[in-house]
């Protein structure tokens, strides 16, 4: 399966255009090995979090629940989930970090350590 990632920071000639890149080729270009775990450094989530949310790891259509919150009006944005789950979350290339927001809209971004070393 080919995964294409939108690059929103790249200016195009028209407002309704977006640039897509092949994530697999980008990882290959950076020298990321598939069999080496990736350390998730930061995951920021924004959206209607007050409706409730959950964070899972998906592997072979099986979901492992990591952390979540019930509906609450006290949610602050952006939400960084790494302090909630710890600074040693590692994912293999066949695993997915899945965020599910129970509100109508949400979006997020994750950053991984490309060096393979955990820095504080």
User: Would you say the pTM of this structure is higher than 0.85?
Assistant: no
Helix (H) or strand (E) holding 28: helix 23-29
How confident is the prediction along the chain (120 residues), in pLDDT tens digits per residue?
566 777 766 666 666 677 777 777 766 776 666 677 777 777 778 877 888 888 888 888 899 998 888 877 676 667 787 787 776 778 877 888 888 887 777 777 777 776 655 444
CA distance 99 to 13: 33
**Backbone Cα Rg of the chain:** 16
The C-alpha angle with vertex 58 and arms to 30 and 27, in degrees rounded to 5, equals: 5
The C-alpha angle with vertex 61 and arms to 55 and 62, in degrees rounded to 5, equals: 60
CA 30 to centroid of chain Cα atoms: 18
């Amino acid at each position: 399966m080919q995964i294409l990632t939108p690059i929103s920071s790249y200016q195009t000639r028209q407002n309704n255009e977006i640039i897509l890149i092949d994530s697999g080729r980008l990882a290959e270009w950076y020298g990321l090995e598939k069999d080496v775990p990736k350390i998730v450094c930061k995951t920021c989530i924004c959206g209607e979090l007050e409706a409730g949310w959950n964070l899972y790891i998906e592997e072979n259509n099986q979901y492992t629940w990591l952390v979540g919150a019930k509906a609450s009006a006290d949610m602050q944005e952006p939400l960084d989930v790494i302090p909630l789950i710890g600074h040693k979350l590692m994912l293999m290339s066949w695993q997915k970090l899945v965020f599910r927001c129970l509100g109508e809209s949400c979006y997020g971004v994750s950053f991984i350590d490309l060096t393979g070393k955990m820095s504080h």
